[in-house]
Structure 1
């Protein structure tokens, strides 16, 4: 208790924001405080911990070893205090929180619009900060407390990461009707001879489609590799390119009347699109409410 008597607990909230954002201005925006006020608090924290906490390295601010060691204990302590002080019944209509989510523009297009409408109606005080990262980076950010939720495919998550299926997906192929037979799709041989579009954050990614091909000793010609789901469909029209992608990413083709969907000519696994979070968030009432909202808003027809 002696240490608690030596520090203003509000400084701990400022410390959490600084360790999370690694930036004084962003921490100030997160706390809804002025930048000078947060800078003053940082000076007090540096004195208390006898450590600079944030240092400039390579043009950006990074955490010192002492600050890095504080991240998880501080988050656990604040979560415990929040649970202690929280009202017995969670009220989304009057809660004020900011959640950090990471998701691709695929999920942004099919889940984010209904989710935002739901939040504005049921929980207008819940704010979202959206980022995009690779699967591996999202898992690290969840562990480090830089993310609250990540959306994607997580076949082998670490032990401290909880995963919940949102919906099942299957792959479909898309091509311009002009380069397809009058009916149906393509044989495997024809499919392999065509140039392909690959959706990946990194050009060297080894996704489910590439693994299925490798298992059969096959390769396809990747003419275009890009991370933008929303742009990929537009690249197909008027070309000989083939796009193999999650079915809900294509959606109805009213806007692309020259295109046709068809079944992939090789067996590709169905997969679950998931939400993932660190286990320390599981019992947070607001976090739990948001997870349920995501589950509801990810269903077809929302």
Structure 2
């Protein structure tokens, strides 16, 4: 390591952002600095540590072994310094940030209108970009720093590769099925359910289906006649056809009118958690934490979560 001047200490937060974001542009956005300024700082850091720190790799820039070695002691040192400095109270009205969220059609329908309405009144300078990623893609994007928050159903969260992701339960959901009574009168027995063709909604083909997994455990398989990425189009495909749609109850319960009928499943399935998840590097970011609180508050019907336990990583609970 080359000699460090006192003025070089100001580069350490930039190094932290570069290691975590793995991208000069994202680090600049996070630090509210220009990209040339961060590039210049990276050049000086490379000279100080006699290491490239970020190198081109598969999927974009990747930290070197030396950078990964520095990450933990750097985070601890900066956390200690920050804890010594009294932070001003967070002011949502004055917060100018851009957050990137991953939401499915379903998640967007039940959360996004209320979240946007709240932001427009409480934090009008906060901007959102909403992306619809598959489950695995969303978690990978969180790890890579490509998005700030993902909301949905993520069974893989307990895997070791996602140990740095924290999660908060928003609500427990159950499955129900929708069919057109003018074509298929009455409730659905398991035999009638299996005889009918089905609509499956999935953003990514590789995402697992809890419904098909549950049927397989019972020794059954349904026929998927139509597979689409958009939940909003699915109910109208059921209307006037023999198709059956199995989906989260919140998304179809209100549609059980005008010929359509919403039924319980004709087989047992456990409820499943709908969560918000983020990378722990965002854990204490005041704006990010405020946004998570607003989302939890929307679901619970309050302005904020009733307990800070909502903010604990699920894998630590």
How much has 1:263 moved relative to structure 2? 2.2
What is the match of residue 48 of structure 1?
Answer: 48
Question: Is 1:267 matched up with 2:268?
Answer: yes
* Partner Cα separation in structure 1 for residue 70 and residue 259 of structure 2: 56
Question: Is 1:174 matched up with 2:178?
Answer: yes
Is contact 2:22-2:145 (8 Å) kept? Answer: no
Between stretches 113-122 and 156-165, larger displacement belongs to: 156-165
Is contact 1:171-1:244 (8 Å) kept? Answer: yes
Query: Would the alpha carbon gap of residues 138 and 3 (structure 1) be closer, same or farther in structure 2, given more than 3 Å must change?
Result: farther
Query: Would the alpha carbon gap of residues 213 and 52 (structure 1) be closer, same or farther in structure 2, given more than 3 Å must change?
Result: same
Is contact 2:20-2:281 (8 Å) kept? Answer: no
Between stretches 132-141 and 163-172, larger displacement belongs to: 132-141
What is the match of residue 249 of structure 1?
Answer: 251
* Partner Cα separation in structure 2 for residue 157 and residue 272 of structure 1: 13
Query: Would the alpha carbon gap of residues 114 and 208 (structure 1) be closer, same or farther in structure 2, given more than 3 Å must change?
Result: same
SS of the residue aligned with 1:297?
Answer: helix
What is the match of residue 296 of structure 1?
Answer: 297
* Partner Cα separation in structure 1 for residue 19 and residue 129 of structure 2: 16
Query: Would the alpha carbon gap of residues 204 and 160 (structure 1) be closer, same or farther in structure 2, given more than 3 Å must change?
Result: closer
How much has 1:298 moved relative to structure 2? 2.5
Structure 1 residue ranges without an equivalent (≥5): none
Question: Could you list the per-position Cα deviations for residues 108-164 of structure 1 after superposition, in whole angstroms to 9, with x for gaps in the alignment?
Answer: 221122112212222334444544444445455555665543322355636655433
SS of the residue aligned with 1:210?
Answer: helix
Q: If the length of structure 1 is used for normalisation, what is the TM-score?
A: 0.77
Q: Which runs of 4+ in 1 moved over 6 A?
A: none
* RMSD of aligned Cα (Å): 3.6
Structure 2 residue ranges without an equivalent (≥5): 304-317
Query: Would the alpha carbon gap of residues 43 and 281 (structure 1) be closer, same or farther in structure 2, given more than 3 Å must change?
Result: closer
Aligned residues: 297
How much has 1:25 moved relative to structure 2? 4.1
Q: If the length of structure 2 is used for normalisation, what is the TM-score?
A: 0.74
How much has 1:189 moved relative to structure 2? 0.9
What is the match of residue 109 of structure 2?
Answer: 109
